[in-house]
Amino acid sequence: MSLGKVVPIAGFPVHEATPQDLAMHLLSVLREHEKISLLFANSNFVVKCKKLLNRMANDSVLIVNDGIGIDIVAKCLHGRAFKANLNGTDFTPYLFRESSRPLRVYMLGAHPEIVEKAAAYVERELGQVVVGYCDGYSGLRDPHIVERINRSEAEVLLVALGNPLQEEWILNHRDALNAGVVTGVGALFDFWAGSKPRAPEFIQKIRMEWLFRLYHEPRRLMRRYTVDMLVFFAHCLKYRKDSNSRVSGSRSQAGF
């Protein structure tokens, strides 16, 4: 089973999908005992993961769109936005709900007390089976971490290390990991643990969640939402210009 159109954004093959398409796809990957890495591409991902681009050109890596920045670029370069917005924070609970049975989940990342609280939340509120968890600092340095995850017989591995650490870690260890679905989920454990506030729904609806996060963590996120945003748009435009001059006459590689 495969997903719909692929839209090139700064060279990244971004798959267009609804949450429902994506959940069905991943559940079928689990049923068929296949392996996939799911990555959410937002503007920060594009800027921070540029150097990993070639390693992501792989059938087992599935990249989907996350956030308003990617949509603006899709509109400017390909004439229309993506049909749905996907992000690990909303999509992960959705995937759990769509599964007809509780999934075996391993959680890797965040500070020790955060991942512990988030694991309790996943069991209590989301009804999944957390087969193990490990923090993203000293825990991540355990040379046996991959064996531990495999021994847990996790089907879904959530990796919450931020960009580009989580993508790098996933690409480095994917072959050795047995979990069917491995995905990078950013600050998700902090939200589940309640250590970072999630924007109210109306702010999410008007797609201003980034502004809410900036308000709460100005020192850490100021660069991401100012300088890096400009870098992101410039990079997308430059990439488009360069690929147009390589393939002269081609309007949209995706037929988007």
161: tokens are 């290390």
List CB contacts of 31: < 8 A, sequence separation 6 or more: none
- CA–CA distance from 150 to each of 61, 147, 174, 236 (Å)? 19, 5, 11, 38
Among 46, 160, 179, 236, indicate the residue that binds ligand UDP (CB under 6 A).
160
If the CB atoms of residues 8 and 164 are measured against ligand UDP, the closer one turns out to be 164
Q: How many residues form the binding site for ligand UDP (CB under 6 A)?
A: 15
**Residue 162 in contact with ligand UDP, rule: CB under 6 A:** yes
**Residue 67 in contact with ligand UDP, rule: CB under 6 A:** no
As measured in angstroms, the least distance from the Cβ of 38 to ligand UDP is: 14
**Residue 189 in contact with ligand UDP, rule: CB under 6 A:** yes
Beta carbons of 193 and 110 less than 8 angstroms apart: yes
Q: In this chain, which residue has its C-beta nearest to ligand UDP?
A: 136
Among 8, 13, 69, 136, indicate the residue that binds ligand UDP (CB under 6 A).
136
Dist CA 64 CA 82 (whole Å): 10
91: tokens are 């999509």
* Sole window of 4-12, 61-69, 96-104, 185-193 interacting with ligand UDP (rule: CB under 6 A): 185-193
**Residue 112 in contact with ligand UDP, rule: CB under 6 A:** no
Dist CA 37 CA 59 (whole Å): 9
- Cα torsion angle, 92, 93, 98, 100, sign: positive
**Residue 181 in contact with ligand UDP, rule: CB under 6 A:** no
As measured in angstroms, the least distance from the Cβ of 140 to ligand UDP is: 6
Going by C-alpha positions, the residue among 232, 175, 170 that lies closest to residue 44 is 232
**Residue 237 in contact with ligand UDP, rule: CB under 6 A:** no
- Per DSSP, the three-state class of 60 is coil
**Residue 191 in contact with ligand UDP, rule: CB under 6 A:** no
Dist CA 138 CA 243 (whole Å): 42
**Residue 149 in contact with ligand UDP, rule: CB under 6 A:** no
Q: Which residues bind ligand UDP (CB under 6 A)?
A: 44, 109-111, 136-137, 160-163, 165, 186-187, 189-190
